[in-house]
């Protein structure tokens, strides 16, 4: 399976007061999508008791073509 390493455009880290179990942070990373016309946004919640990761592609072309996992795009 072919994998593409996407280029990181922007990284943002914000503190979050958490949900009663202490402070955490939310990390947002913006990558250039494989075709170069759009963006892929990866959000990582690193908060005690609430850890989640979500990667969403804002480019309709690449959304149909790839599966995304953080900075990696895999051809479907």
- Binding of residue 59 to Zn ion (CB under 5 A): yes
Q: Does 47 bind Zn ion (CB under 5 A)?
A: no
For Zn ion, which is the closer residue by CB, 31 or 47?
31
Contact set for Zn ion, span 12-41 (CB under 5 A)? 33, 35, 37-38
Q: Is 75 in the site for Zn ion (CB under 5 A)?
A: no
CA 33 – CA 28 distance, rounded (Å): 15
Q: Work out which of 52, 54, 61, 69 binds Zn ion, going by CB under 5 A.
A: 61
Q: What span, in angstroms and rounded, lies between the C-alpha atoms of 44 and 54?
A: 6
d(CA 32, CA 8): 6
End-to-end alpha carbon distance in the chain: 8
Interface with Zn ion (CB under 5 A): 33, 35, 37-38, 59, 61-62
């Amino acid at each position: 399976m072919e994998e593409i390493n996407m280029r990181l455009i922007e990284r943002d880290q914000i503190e979050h007061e958490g949900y009663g179990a202490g402070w955490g942070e939310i990390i947002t990373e913006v990558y250039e999508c494989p075709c170069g016309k759009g963006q892929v946004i990866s959000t990582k919640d690193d908060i005690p008791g609430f850890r989640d990761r979500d990667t969403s592609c804002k480019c309709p072309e690449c959304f149909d073509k790839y599966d995304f996992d953080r900075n990696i795009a895999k051809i479907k």
